[in-house]
Amino acid sequence: MNDSAVPDAGHSDPDILAMMAMGEPDIPLADELHVQECPECLDELNSLVRVANLARSGSPLEHPLDAPGPAVWGSISRTLGLATEVMPAPFASAAAFGSAEESEAESSETPVSFEPQPVLPIASRSSGRARRSHRGRNRLVVPVLAGALAVVVSAGAILVATTVLAPKSEAPQPTVLAEARLEALPDWTGASGEAVVEQTGSGRQVVVTLSEPRTAPGYREVWLISSDLSKLISVGVLAGTEGRFTIPADVKLADYPIVDVSSEKPDGNPAHSGDSIVRGTL
């Protein structure tokens, strides 16, 4: 890969950021330098690192997605005038949702008639015929839009009822598994920090804070290191003074009890630079 310049849009290509998050060594120097100066790209890189760590850990999503209930789709089908036999299951079973109340309301109103409109050839859409066609479309579009608006309002009411009015259960508080005071190494006198390992619903996470009196070029990377300093794992890039990082599920803290924050240069080398700012044992 050539050391190509950063794209014209002013930000690194998403594919390049993904490669950096996965620890690929062959990264263009221009992109490495750009990420250190662009908060937006650095934030995107941190997000990709978290995704990569989550993929490696095999942990499930913290908040599974909920599908809309059949009542919502049943209301949409009735508003669009779909016959019951063409409604896909389970929407057909929901077509009678609220039928008692709707029947009472509809009995005092004049039903809207959806008359099919003829499709005119392009060449004939002119003068009086075009004006008549436009009026015909207005007669059809207005009730359809009104019905669609009613569906949106109904869906909003259901959302409010299920998310605001329903009893809320408090999210469980994370459990602290371990802590460490991070001490400065000789070349970084005055630096300090703290590391806290928490057990959350989505797995284990380490929260790292760093106080660094002097500013140095490059970026900061957080590592878990074995007690004999022979093995290490990168858990992410620290942007600012605090960061939260996912610990892979197969990593035992007893095997990697040391938390290390290093000063890294944008040289394309994913290995530890050997220049640690702070370090501490959980």
Q: How many CB atoms lie within 10 A of CB 7?
A: 13
Closest CA to 32 of 59, 52, 58, 5: 5
**Helical (H) or strand (E) element with 204:** strand 203-211
Closest CA to 259 of 190, 200, 204, 183: 183
Between CA 15 and CA 19 the distance in angstroms is: 6
Whether this model's pTM surpasses 0.75: no
**What pLDDT tens digit does each residue of the chain (282 aa) get?**
444 455 546 888 888 888 888 888 788 888 888 888 898 889 888 888 888 887 776 655 555 556 667 777 777 777 877 766 666 555 555 445 445 445 444 544 444 444 444 444 434 434 444 444 444 444 444 454 455 555 555 566 566 555 555 555 667 788 999 999 999 999 899 999 999 999 988 899 999 999 988 777 889 999 999 999 999 999 999 988 999 999 999 999 999 999 999 999 888 889 999 999 999 999
Between CA 226 and CA 208 the distance in angstroms is: 18
Q: How many Å is the maximal CA-CA distance in the chain?
A: 89
The secondary structure of the chain in percent helix, strand, coil, rounded to multiples of 5, reads 35, 20, 40
If you write DSSP's letter for every residue of 211-257 in order, what string do you get? E-SS--SSEEEEEEE-TTSS-EEEEEEE-TTEEEEEPPTT--TTT--
